[in-house]
Chains A and B, each alone.
Chain A
Amino acid sequence: MTIPDVREHTTEKNWIGKSIPRLEDRRFLLGKGGYIDDLVLPNMLEVALVRSIYPHARIVSIDTSEAEALPGVAAVVTGAQAAEMTDPLPDFGPDPENHPWRCLAVDKVRYNGEGVVAIAAESRAIAEDAAELVVIEYEPLEPIVDPMAAKEDGSPLVHETLGTNIAFHREFTFGEVDADFEGADRIISDTLHWGRSGGQPIETVGAVADYDDASGMMSIHANSLSFTSYLFMLAGTLRVPSNKLDMHPVSAGGSFGSKLWEVKTPTIAGMLSRLCGRPVKFLQDRMENISNGDHHGSDRRYEVDLAVMNDGTLRSIKITTVEDYGAYIQFGVGHHGNALAQVTGPYKMSSVYYDVTAVLTNKCQQGAYRGFGSEVGNWVLERMVDLAAAELEMDPAEIRRRNFLEPDQFPYFIPTGNVYDSGDYGGVLDKALELADYAGWRQRQTEARAEGRNVGIGICTCQERSVFSATEFWFWFDEPGAPVSSMPESVTLDVDALGNITATLYSCAMWGNSPETMVAQLVGEEFDVDPQTVNVVYASSNQGLPATGPGGSRFTVMVAGAVEVASAKIKKKGAAIAAHLLEANVEDLTWVNGGFEVAGTPTARMELADIAIQAHLFKHGLPEEIESGLEASHVYDHPYTTMPNDDRTDLGVFYPFMGHACHIAVVEVDPDTGKVDFLDYAAVHDCGTMVNPRSLCGHIVGGTAQGIGTSLLEEFVYDDDGVLQTPSFAEYVIPTSMDVPELKIGHQETPSPYTPHGIKGGGEAGRMMAPAAISAAIDDALRDHGVRVRRLPATPERIVDWIDGGG
C-alpha cells in the first residue's frame, strides 16, 4: 500500500464535535445494562475453579471423588481431563507449541492462582464447596520469580520443552545509532523499572455457554469478544467447527484492555456446557481476575542511553529492556511494537537502538492494559528527557520545545519506519502551560519551598499512537508463522421503511468506551438525523462481519471509515430512487439537510424517509436494477499500512494516527510518610477531530486516574517465593475519587489527513502520560533530597527509602 490520499475536512459539522449525552448511559443508569451476571438461562450451571496455591509445582495426584459426590455438583474436570476435551488456547506468541497454554494446568502449575480443576454445579456456592473437597497433592518446585535470574543459564525452567526461560530476544537498529552517539556532546544513562499493574473492570471476565447437541452449535455469551476474524482459533480450542461457534457480545463493566482476547473463560464454560448438556456460566471472581485473568500489564526493566548535545538537542536513544511476561506470552512482544510506534516521542531524533528480551517466570501472564506497552515507552523517554534537562540545567518545558517536530514536517517517518500523520506539539504545550498556570505555579513553588514544603511540578509531552496494524504482531520474526495483514471493523446500516436507521456493530459490546454513541454521531452526521434516534445493536459472530473491536485506540477511527462507506452506498441507492421519482438526472441531485434535492430547485426534493418507503414497499415503481430495501454494510480495512522490510531496519507504517498530549502535575510530598498529594493537574490532548468532547474527557479523566494508580499505588506484588501478595482489592489499592485531583482539561484539534473527519484515537489517553508527569513532579518536589523516580509505582515507602538514600 502506498500513502493514502490526503483528505479535505470540512469544519461544518452537525453532530461530530458535540457533547451529546451518551446513548449507552440510560440503560446502565437504569440497571438494565445486561451484564454477564444478569444473564440467567434455564437449567444453568455455574463454575468455580480450584486454583494453584503454589507458584511452581508438579501435580502428583488429584482426588475429585469427594467433590463429585457433593449434592448439586454436575461435573468435576481436571486439567488432564480438560486436555482430552479441548486443545490449547489460541496463542499469538512465539513458539506456542513449546509452551502450550491450556484452560487448566496439566502436569504442573506455573503460577500462584493457575486453574487446576473446574467444577460445574447448581450454584457458584456449591461449586466452591466442592472445590474445597478436591484433594491435590503437589510436589513444589523452585519458583522462578526474578526475571534477571530466570534468563540466565541454569535457571529452573517454566516450560521444560522450551529449554530456556527466554521466550524472545532481538536487537533492532534503526538509523545511524553509532554515528549519532559518537557525535553527541553527552550520553545520559539510567536504569528504570516499571512495575506490574493491570486494568480493573467492575465486572470481571465472564461467559455463559450453551451447547446444543442437536445442531452442534456452541453459543457463548461473552464480555470478552474481540478479533472476530480469529474466532476460528477458539472454535479449534473447543473442537467445534468454526461455523458452529456463535459468540454473542455482552456489555462489559469496563475492560481497559483487560478483556482483550480473554479466551480461557469462554473455553471453560463451553467445555463444561458440552460435557453437562446444560448452559454453563463462568464469571471470574475478583481473586480469579487478578491472579488468573491473563491480563497483567507490562513489567519491564530498562537500561537506557540518550545521546544529547549541550544545547539540549536530542540525537539518538539506546534502549535495552527485559520484560517479565509471566508464565505464558499470548500476544508475543506486541507490547514493544506499541512502544516502537512512537519510540522517539514528539521529538526529532534520527536513530534508535532497541534490544528486547522477553522472559518467562512463575507469574500470571501479561495481556493488555491501556497503552499496551507504549505507556511504558512514554515514561522511559520522558524520564530520560527530564534527566537530560536536569544535567543541562534546562527548563523541562524548554528542552521539549527545542526538540519538537514542527507542524510543517508531517507526515513524518520516525527511525523505526512508522509515520506520524500530523501534529502541533508546540501548540499543545502552550495551551497546557497556560491552563496549568505554569509560571504562577513556579512562583508558588518558590514560596512553598521557603516554608519547607516539598512542592514539585512535572511536565510531560507524550504521543498517543492510534489504530494499529496487524503487522506489529509478527514483524518481530524473519519468518513469521502468519504474516497477517488485516485488522478490519465493520458496520451495517439499515434504513427502515420510515427512514429510521439501525446500525449493527460486529465486535465487543460496550466495554467502557462509547461505541454506540460514536456510531450514532457518525450516522447522524452522514444522514442529518439526531443521533439519539439511531438504534445501535450488536450482531453475534455467526451472523457477523469481520471485526476487531476496541484496542490500540482504534475503534472510533475504524468504525468511522465503515460508516462513511456504508452511508455512501445507501446514499447512492437513495439517489437513484430519488432521481427516478423526481424525473431528474442522478448527477443533478445533491444531499441537503436529510434528503436529496435537484441542484438549484429546492422544491424538487425527497426526504430520506420518502426514499426509504419507496425502497421498501414499492419496488415495482422503481427501475429494474433496484432491489427492495435500503441497507448497506461495509468492512473497513486499515487505511494506512505498509509492510516491514526484510532485515527489519524499517518496520513499515503500523500505527500512523498520532495523538499527542501534555500533562502538567503539581504535587506535594510528605517527607515523613512519602505520601504524594496533588495540588493541581492539567492535561491538554490532541487526538485530531473530536467526535464527542465529553466522552473524550471521560477517557482522559479515567486514564489519568489509572495513570495515578500506576504511578503511586497499584502493583501486583509477588513475594520472593512467587506468592501473589495482592490477590484482592484489599491489597491491590486503586485510587478512589478522593485520591484523584480535579483535572483541568484542554483540547487541541489537529485533524489527521488520512482518516474520516480527521479523527485520531483517544481511548488510552491519560494513562499514557500521567506516570511521566507525576514522576517528574516527585523529582522536582524532592530535588533537595536528591530523589529521582526510577521505579514505579513510587509507593510512599519507596519514596521515603529514596529520601533516606536507601532506595
Chain B
Amino acid sequence: MKAPPFGYRRVSSAAEAADALRELGSDARILAGGQSLLPMLSVRIASPSHLVDIGRADDLRHITADNGSLRIGAAATQWSVENDQATTAAAPLLADAISRAGQVPIRHRGTVVGSIAHADPSAEIPAAVLASGATLIAASTGSEREISADDFFQGPYMTALEEGELLREVRIDRWPDGTGHAFEEFSHSHESWPVVTAAVLVLLNGGTIDRVAIAMSGVDGRPVRAGQAEHELTGQAPTPELLAEAAQSATRDLEPFSDVFGSGRYRKRVATALVRRALTTATTRAGGGA
C-alpha cells in the first residue's frame, strides 16, 4: 500500500493553486487534508501525475461569518470549522455533520471543502451542505463562478468542477433564528464509514412549518434533496404522523445502490427512519411539539 510516483507542488495561495492546475493539466489533483486522497493513492485507485498541496495557502484557510453567510476556505480543517463559534452559530447542522465525519485525528487534517469536492455518495458533509442550500465557489486562473449545491454533486465522486478549477470556498447562507436542525447517521461501528445519513433544517411559524430542507446521503450516487417531502410539509402543523408520512415520501422514489454495507432495500428503510427522526428532532429544536 504505497503510492505510485507523483509530482508534488506546494502552493501558497488560491491563485497559485489555480495556475498550477492550468499548467499541470487534467491529471493533477488538489491535495488538502489528504484523508481520502492519500488512501486512494496507497491502494492505487488514483494515480495523479501531480499533487497540488494547498495546505499552506493562507487565503484558503478562512472561516468567516458576515452578512448572514458562513464562508469556509478550501484548506480549513474539519476540526477548526466544527469548533468555530461562527460555524456553530450560523450552520449548526454542518457542525453536527462534521462531528460524525471520521475520528478526531482525521478531522484535524481533513477539510470541509475537500470532503465536498471528493463527493463520496455516502459522506456526511455533502448531505449537510446540500440541505443548507450552500453555494460552492469554483476558481480557475483569472475567474470564478458560483455553483449551487443542487447542481454541484453529479454522481459518485463526480462534481460540476471543470478541468483547471479549484473548489475555493463553500458559502452557507444562515437560516433564520429559531431554525431547528438535526443530523442522523447510520454506520456499522461508531467510526466506520457512513451508510446512510439524513440532514434536516426546519423553521416554524405560528405552529406550522414555514420552511424545511431534507437531504440524504447513501441512497443514491450523490446526496439528494427530498423536494416532494419538503413540499408536503410546508405550511403544515408538524404532527408525528405527518413527519412519518413525509419520511416515507422522502424515500419513496429512491432506488439506492447495494454494497457490502447494505442493500438498496435496507438503505431505503434506514433512510426513512433517519429522516423521520431528524424531522422530529429538528422540529422539536425549532420549538414544535412533535
Contact = CB atoms under 8 A, between A and B. Distances in A.
B273 A731 contact: no
Nearest to B260: A725
A91 to B, nearest CB: 29
Contacts of B157: none
Nearest to A796: B188
Given A287-B43, A717-B260, A797-B266, A132 B186 contact: no
What's the dominant secondary structure at chain B's contact region? Answer: loop
A668 to B, nearest CB: 15
A736 B190 contact: yes
Given A286-B1, A287-B1, A675 B186 contact: yes
B259 to A, nearest CB: 8
A404 to B, nearest CB: 36
B20 to A, nearest CB: 24
A125 B192 contact: no
Contact of B189 (A123, A125, A726, A739): A739
Contacts of B177: none
Nearest to B259: A725
Contact of A673 (B186, B192, B259): B186
A733 B44 contact: no
B260 to A, nearest CB: 4
Given A734-B189, A796-B188, A672 B269 contact: yes
A436 interface: no
A285 to B, nearest CB: 4
Interface stretch (B2-10, B51-59, B211-219, B279-287): B2-10
A218 interface: no
B191 A738 contact: yes
A802 to B, nearest CB: 13
Interface residues of B, number: 23
A749 interface: no
Contacts of B273: 672-673
B269 A736 contact: no
A801 to B, nearest CB: 8
A797 B186 contact: no
B272 to A, nearest CB: 8
A285 B5 CA distance: 19
B246 to A, nearest CB: 16
A128 B270 contact: no
B48 interface: no
A610 interface: no
Nearest to B193: A730
A738 B189 CA distance: 8
A129 interface: yes
A731 B189 contact: no
A129 B44 CA distance: 10
A76 interface: no
Contact of A132 (B44, B193, B259, B261): B44
A502 B268 CA distance: 63
Interface in A734-752: 734-736, 738-739
B266 A713 contact: no
Given A717-B260, A739-B189, A132 B4 contact: yes
B163 to A, nearest CB: 26
A452 to B, nearest CB: 13
A320 interface: no
Of A124, A673, A713, the most chain B CB neighbours within 10 A belong to A673
B263 interface: yes
B44 A731 contact: no
Contacts of A736: 189-191
A117 B193 CA distance: 33
Nearest to B1: A285
Interface string B1-35: 11111000000000000000000000000000000
B189 A713 contact: yes
B44 A726 contact: no
A713 B188 contact: yes
Nearest to A670: B273
A15 to B, nearest CB: 39
B189 A128 contact: no
B188 A129 contact: no
Contacts of B259: 725
Contact of B5 (A129, A733, A739): A129
A700 interface: no
B235 interface: no
B133 interface: no
Contacts of B189: 713, 733-736, 738-739
A321 interface: no
A385 B29 CA distance: 59
Contacts of A739: 189-190
Contacts of B43: 287, 728
B277 to A, nearest CB: 8
Interface string A179-204: 00000000000000000000000000
Contacts of A673: 186, 269-270, 273
A124 B5 CA distance: 12
Contacts of B5: 129
A795 interface: yes
Nearest to A793: B188
A797 B188 CA distance: 10
B190 A733 contact: no
Interface in B185-203: 186, 188-193
Contact of A797 (B191, B192, B193, B263): B263
B3 A731 contact: no
A129 B188 CA distance: 34
Nearest to A708: B189
12 contacts: A123-B2, A128-B44, A129-B5, A285-B1, A673-B269, A675-B186, A725-B260, A726-B260, A735-B189, A739-B190, A797-B262, A797-B266
Given A673-B186, A796-B266, A800-B266, 11 more contacts: A125-B2, A129-B4, A287-B43, A672-B269, A672-B270, A725-B259, A730-B192, A733-B192, A736-B189, A736-B191, A796-B188
* Nearest 10 A/B pairs, CB to CB: A672-B273, A738-B190, A125-B2, A725-B260, A797-B266, A285-B1, A733-B188, A733-B192, A733-B189, A128-B2
